[in-house]
Every structure is written in C-alpha cells, then in structure tokens.
Structure 1
Amino acid sequence: MTHSIGILMKSPKFLIGSITSLLMILLVMIYPLINTKDPLEMMALAFQPPNSDLILGSDNFGRDLFLELIYGIRTSIMVGLVAGLCATLIGLVIGLACGYIGGFVDNILTALTNMFIVIPSFIVLILISVSLNSRSSFIVALIIGLTSWPWTARAVRAQTTSLRNRDHVNIAKISGHSTPKIILFEILPYIASYVVMAFILQVASGILSEASISMLGLGPYNTISLGIIMNWALVFEAPVAGAWWAFIPAAFAIAIITFSLYMINTGMDEIFNPKIRS
C-alpha cells in the first residue's frame, strides 16, 4: 500500500489532479468561515460587473456571485461524492456477483445491467426528477447514483471473471471458505485500485449530471449549485446582457473540478494498468 502511494506521488498527472482537487476543497471549506454572509442576500444591482467589493460581480438578483460560486462548488462536490459512492457500491456488488458466481445469477444481473445501458441514463434521470415534487441535493445525488452504475458493474464483472479461477481463489474454495469471504478477501483486494478509479470517474460524472439537469431547471430546490447558477444566468438572459461573470466562472469551475478528477484517474491508470504501464 505504502509502495503504491509512493509510486503515485511520482506521477505528474496524479499530483496535478490531487493538488487542484485539494485546493478546491480547502477553498470551499475555509472561505465560508471567513465570509459568513448569506449567499442569497441581495447586496448590489442586477448584473453589476466585478469590482473591489464584488470579486465576480453580482447575479440577476444582485447577489455576490463569488460567494454563490463557493457554495455552488461545495454543493456540486457533495452531490458528486454521494452519487459516486452510490453508483460505485451498486456497480461493485452487481459486478462481483456476476463475475464470481456466474451462471443464472450472472445472466439475470447482466440482463439488468444491459437494460440500464440501453436506456439512456440521462433520460431516466430527467423523468425521475420531473416526477418528484421535492428535490434536495441529497435526493438528486441518489437519483444520479441509481442511474449511473452499469458501466462500473461491467468493469468489475470483467475483472472478477479473470480472477475467479486463479490459484489463490481455488485454494480458498478447497479450504471451505464461504463465497462472501472469498469475494471479500481473495478478489476485492486485487481490484481495489480499479474500484477507486471507478469511484473517481463516477464522482466526475455525478457533478456533470447534476450541472446538466440543474441547467434544465430540474436540479435541487432551496440550495445553490454550479448548475443552478448557470440556470439562473440563462433564465435571466445574462449572455444577452453581456454579463459573462454570471455563467463563465461556474462553467470554468465545473471544468476545473472534472479535469482534476480525470487527471487523478489517468495518473492512477498509468500506474495500475499493466497494459499502459508496459
């Protein structure tokens, strides 16, 4: 474990992604402690340009956009983490069951996975969001997680299938170990790095999905996220008014967050993927 971390620390891509993500998290955790104002407080004219008092100007309601951006990043990261955890856990359980047990269980769960893959997850996400009367950021995160697990399940299934007939697994079978114990101690440690990489990609995907549905006006209520900031800018015609500060910083924040996560994933892939490493 320590050896793997040491190798990762030598990867420029992993370091760039990790440092960027860490700085972003520290910013959204520390800044609200310094600036304790309500991000929804109106304190200027609509679409006021950036100045010494308002770093990123004001939005259509005359609110501090920089403060909104900080809270928006925090909400989007939280949604991404919850959605990523949910999708990764579902995909991991289904993938392990398919790959190790095989047979009838594999056929049923693979058919379920393929059904979710065939139906566009974004369409399902929109339909579920529309049908809900109350949408908190946590509920939106769960919906995203419940609609984005299939590719993780397929990846885990492929890895598990390649491991189930290895010598150490066969020895565990002969020794009379139970199926859950074999999966937990003989297979899961060998695919742990792939699971972590899948989680990172699911977090990035969750952030992008939340931004997409929020821009359509189907995001969480009574909160601020990066997608909601962009939705406000579009609804109140910020591009027409030339108020670039109302939407470009939020779009840039989404790009930076997802870019840093993909850099972390790419750095890990170069270390743990034998084909790339060779």
Structure 2
Amino acid sequence: MAAIFVQPRQLLRNRPLAFGLGILALICLIAIIGPLLVDPTAARVGATIARQPPSPDHWLGTDGQGRDMVTVLIHAMPNTLTIGVVAGLISLTLGVALGLISGFVGGVVDTIIRVLTDVMMTIPGIAILVLVAANVREMTVGLMAVIVASLSWMVATRTIRAQTLSLRERGYVQVARLNGSSGLKLVFVEVLPNLLPFIAASFVVTVSGAMLATIGLEALGLGPQNQLTLGTTIYWAQFYGAILRGMWWWWGPPIVVISIIFVGLMLTAMGLDSFVNKRLGGHA
C-alpha cells in the first residue's frame, strides 16, 4: 500500500486552505456556542417591537415579526450548516460507494452505474427538488438534507470512479493483486486510503452544492417549517417586502453570513484541490 499521508504543516502552508478552514472553524464555533449565549425567546414572533433599525438594544435591528435579528441569525446558522453537512455526507457516501464499485469492478456493473449516473445528471435537479419539497406535508431539517442528497450524488460518483480507474492500474495495486489480495482488500487497503484527500476535497464541494440548493429552496418558501434557517430568513424578508421598505438589516445580514460560509468553503476546496492535484500527480 502506498497511501497518501497528510501532514498538518503541509496543509497549513497552503494559504487558501488555512484561511478557508479558519473561516469555517469560526462559523462552526459561533453556531455551537452562540445559541448558549443569547435568549432564545428573542427569536420568537412578537418578542419585541417590529421593524426597528439597529440600535444598542438590538445590534442588527428587528424583523417585521418582532424578532431580534442577531438571535435569529445565531439560531438559524446551526440548522443551515446541519442541512449542508448531512446532505454532503449522505451524497458523498453514496457517491464514493458507487464510484469505487463502478471503477474497480468494471464490466456490466460499471456500465449500469455509469448509465444511471449520466441519466440522473441530465434530469433538472432543481425542478425535482421544488416538486418534492412542495408536496411534502411537513418539511424538517433532516428531511430537507435527505431530499437534497438524493439528487447530488452523481458528481461524486463520476469523480471517484475516474480516480479509481486511475489508481487500480498503479504498480502497487498490481503487485498486491499478484500476491493474492482479494477484491475487497484491494479496494479498502490499496485504493481507498489513497483517495482520502480527494474524498475530503469532494466533500467540501458536495457540501457547497447541497447548501446552495437548500438555500435556493428555502428562499422560495419550501424550507423547513417552524425551524429557523438562513434561507427561510431571506424568504420572510422577501415575503414582507423588506427591500421595498428599506429594512436592509433584515435581508442583508443573512446574505453576508451565507457569503462568508461560501467563501470559507470555496477557499477550503481550492486549497484541497491544489494539494490533491500535487499529491496524486506525483504519486507512483
């Protein structure tokens, strides 16, 4: 086995990766600790006077329903991140499994998985997501993650398959095969460890795509009911005409938080992609 080992110092020398991980770590810290530091009742409808601009009492003002925007954002962030991470994990797990099977087994199995993947990629995913979300009786954070994941596994499948096809022809895999290693042992001992950095990069990209799809559905009013998310906050701002009323503090902060999250994900993906390309490109 010739696995690709990743040293922390090597990762931190990669500036996009270091900055990206730093941003994401800060966001996650706020999402975990933030709800413990604010009064959850301030995020309820009618908790205070509605449509107040930012002030010392309400740093980001209040929305049209009388909720404190700082509290709303702090309680919305964990749900938004949960949807993205859970959807990313589900779709990536499915994509890695199908990609490994397709790339390593080959033959009829490879053809079936490849055709299925290509067919699913031609179907307009956003249309199916809207249709399914619109017909769900009660949308929750977990259900939203599953719905998004069910239509976002194809890219991971294709990329993992391509990498598996390349790795299975490497010399160390051929030597292991000649030494009598079985198919499963070759996959889990020789191929999969060398794909871990690539899988990490794919996970970041998958989470980004899942969050983008989720926020799009939420902005259309198809997000979780009775659960705060950044996307649903934007939806309610649109619904009550916050832009026309000049209530920038209602729709602006959620967009800024979403932008920061995506910048962190983008930098992390760039850094991991650069690292993986160098390692796999020079790996023998």
Question: Could you tell me how far apart the structure 1 residues matched to 2:7 and 2:152 are?
Answer: 29
Q: Is the 8 A contact 1:42 1:64 kept in 2?
A: no
Q: C-alpha separation between the residues in 1 aligned to 2:278 and 2:32?
A: 37
Q: How does 1:1-278 map to 2 (within 5 A)?
A: 3-38=6-41, 39-274=43-278
Residues 133 and 222, structure 2, Cα contact 8 Å, conserved in 1: yes
Distance 2:274 2:280 in 1: 6
Partner SS state of residue 133, structure 1:
coil
Q: What SS class does the counterpart of residue 8 from structure 1 fall into? A: helix
Report the TM-score when normalising by structure 1.
0.95
Relative to structure 1, is the Cα distance of residues 241 and 276 closer, same or farther in structure 2, using a 3 angstrom cutoff?
A: farther
- CA RMSD after TM alignment: 1.7
> Given that residues 211 and 226 in structure 1 are in contact (C-alpha distance below 8 angstroms), is that contact kept between their aligned partners in structure 2?
yes
The amino acid of 2:39's aligned partner reads T
Residue 41 of structure 1, CA deviation: 4.6
Contact 2:48/2:67 (<8 A) preserved = yes
Range moving further from structure 2, 237-246 or 262-271? 262-271
CA distance in structure 2 between the aligned counterparts of 1:120 and 1:19, rounded to whole angstroms = 35
Q: Aligned partners of 1:40 and 1:183: how far apart in 2?
A: 51
Aligned-partner residue type, residue 24 of structure 2 = S
Secondary structure, aligned partner of 2:244: helix
User: Once the 2 structures are TM-superposed, how far is the Cα of residue 154 of structure 1 from its aligned partner?
Assistant: 0.6
Q: Helix, strand or coil for the counterpart of 2:264?
A: helix
Work out the CA distance in 1 between the residues paired with 2:30 and 2:174.
49
Confirm or deny: 8 A CA contact 1:84 1:145 kept in the other structure: yes
The answer as to whether partners of 1:90 and 1:149 remain within 8 angstroms in 2 is yes
SS at match of 1:273: helix
Letter in 1 for 2:277: N
The DSSP-based 3-state class of the residue aligned with 1:45 is: coil
Asked if 1 retains the 8 angstrom alpha-carbon contact of 2:20 and 2:265, the reply is: yes
Q: CA deviation at 1:12?
A: 1.3
**Structure 1: distance between partners of 2:19 and 2:62:** 31
The 1-side partners of 2:44 and 2:211 are apart by 22
Are the structure 2 counterparts of residues 250 and 88 from structure 1 closer, same or farther at C-alpha, using a change threshold of 3 Å? same
1:227 is aligned with what amino acid?
A: G
* Amino acid corresponding to residue 252 of structure 2 in structure 1: I
Counterpart CA distance in 1 for 2:153 and 2:84 is 13
Rounded to whole Å, the distance in 1 between the matches of 2:117 and 2:88 is: 17
Corresponding residue pairs, total: 278
Structure 1 gap ranges (5+) = none
Q: Which runs of 5+ in 2 are unaligned?
A: none
Of 42-51 and 117-126, more deviation after overlay is shown by: 42-51
Q: How many percent identity over aligned positions?
A: 31
Measure, in 1, the Cα distance between the counterparts of 2:44 and 2:119. Answer: 42
Deviation, 1:36, is 3.1
How far the C-alpha of 1:239 sits from its partner, in A, is: 0.4
- The residue type paired with residue 119 of structure 1 is I
Q: Secondary structure at the match of 1:56?
A: coil
